[in-house]
Amino acid sequence: MTRTIRVDARHPDPSSIEEAAAVLRAGGLVAFPTETVYGLGANAYDPAAVARIFEAKGRPSTDPMIVHIADARDLRTVAVDVPALAMACAAAFWPGALTLILQRHRDVPASVSAGLSTIGVRVPSHPVAQALLQRAGLPIAAPSANRFSRPSPTCAEHVRVDLDGVIDVIVDAGSTTIGVESTILDLTVTPAVIRRPGGIPLDAIQRIVPEVRMSHQSVDTAQPQPSPGQLLRHYAPRARLTLYLGSVDAVADRLAADARSQAASGSRVGVLAPAEDLLALAPRLAAAAGGGRIMTRRYGSRADHDEAARELFAALRELDGEAVDVILAAGTGHAGIGAAIVDRLTRAAEGRVILANG
Ligand code: TXA
Ligand code: MG
């Protein structure tokens, strides 16, 4: 049985938080909101509890998880050889959507890090995550609270759909505010490398770490990947997803043509796009024979990448729930959190990226 505990996002009731904290201290699994996405938490010092996370998610044990702590002052309880740069990043971005890769403290079981000698650490800013960490008095290991290869959950309902019955508690505080996962910054290499673009944009990181590089594994450019197999499989929708990048008009022309021909040949087509793209697509799709087979879903707008990030995963889940055969997705620009949006969509597309400029 999974218990849902509803709390106010800003002022969670202390006795509700204590209820969830007690489950964590007893080795249980608690899904809880952070400002990015919901996490599936367990006591990071308890190898049996950590093993239950991998099991519940269906996550390969080769995929390391992020350890959450209440305060940067707790960093040395989970990491060693902490460089000055880490403290500078902590001062600039914590609490917040930045995960630092550091050397792991031996008190933290190796399984948390999938056997690596390093560890991912983050201080979340969400008041509920903060209250839970403080109350539990433990570092909490928590990957995103989705079944493996599903989009990260941005509300408690997403967690329920994926994990009801296999975890102990869901702390429900409504939707998360950022909507994509944290930026992962690896400080165990020189120069530092961004392993995953996320909630904190590159230019903000560059102000503290001017020499920072993007990892080859992350997808930070509009270049289609020469070898899709090299992409980390992040989220594979049931439907085959293709990503279109470029100007609104160029994307609308190309995407509409593909949507129409696929609908005409009998596929159920889902279109996922920002507001501007949907406006440009409407007249082009209206002309489609079999237009009834084309379903559109908006995520935010190109003018507001923060809104697009907030809505992206819920929109993907909705389209996937409509049992479409294919999803044709229009990307945003790369500015700010747009880099993270394009990264997640590129991974979902497993390399099927069309540059529609012209
Ligand atoms: O915003 C977030 O980061 C959310 C919330 C819950 O904090 N967490 C999250 O965790 O998204 P997730 O499911 O993405 O898993 C953690 C990822 C791993 O897949 C891996 O890419 C990276 O973090 N990671 C963790 N520890 C690492 C390490 N020691 N070395 C390299 N990468 C690591
Ligand atoms: Mg995840």
- For helices 275-286 and 248-264, angle between their N-to-C axes, nearest 10 degrees: 50
Return d(Cα 21, Cα 43) in angstroms, integer. 10
Q: For residue range 49-97, what is the model confidence (pLDDT) as tens digits? A: 999 999 999 988 899 999 999 999 999 999 999 999 999 999 999 999 9
E strands, the chain, are 3-6, 30-33, 38-43, 66-68, 79-80, 98-104, 118-122, 140-141, 169-172, 183-186, 193-196, 213-214, 240-245, 269-273, 294-298, 326-330, 353-355
Q: What span, in angstroms and rounded, lies between the C-alpha atoms of 276 and 246? A: 12
Tens digits of residue pLDDT in 100-118: 999 999 999 999 999 999 9
Residue range 196-241, pLDDT digits in tens: 999 999 999 999 999 999 996 655 444 443 333 334 556 777 899 9
Specify the length of the chain in residues.
Answer: 358
Q: Note the pLDDT tens digit of each residue in 133-172.
A: 999 999 999 999 999 989 999 999 999 999 999 999 999 9
Ligand 1 site residues (CB inside 6 A) read 34, 36-37, 39, 63-66, 99, 101, 113, 116, 118-120, 122, 142-144, 152, 181-182, 184, 195-196
Q: Using an 8 Å Cβ cutoff, are 3 and 170 in contact?
A: yes
The pLDDT value given to residue 351: 86
CA distance 124 to 171: 15
pLDDT band at 289 (very low <50, low <70, confident <90, very high): low
Pinpoint the residues of the chain covered by CATH 3.40.50.11030: 240-355
pLDDT-above-70 percentage for the chain: 93
Residues of the chain with CATH 3.90.870.10: 3-214
State the angle between helix axes of 156-163 and 305-321 in degrees (0 to 180), rounded to the nearest 10.
30
CA 350 to centroid of ligand 1, rounded, Å: 19
pLDDT class for 242, splitting at 50, 70, 90?
A: very high
CATH number assigned to the domain covering 3-214: 3.90.870.10
Ligand nearest to the CA of 187: 1
What's the pLDDT at 221? 44
**CATH tag, 240-355:** 3.40.50.11030
| CA–CA–CA angle 84, 216, 61 (5° rounding) | 80
For residues 116-145, one letter each, b for 16 or more C-beta atoms within 10 angstroms of the residue's C-beta and e for the rest, the string is eebbbbbbbbbbbbbbbbebbebbbbbbbb
Ligand nearest to the CA of 184: 1
Ligand 1 centroid–CA 240 distance in Å is 25
The span from the CA of 174 to the CA of 172, in Å, is 6
- CA separation, residue 274 to residues 62, 82, 313 (Å): 35, 41, 13
Phi-psi region of 137 (alpha: psi -120 to 50; beta: other; left: phi over 0): left
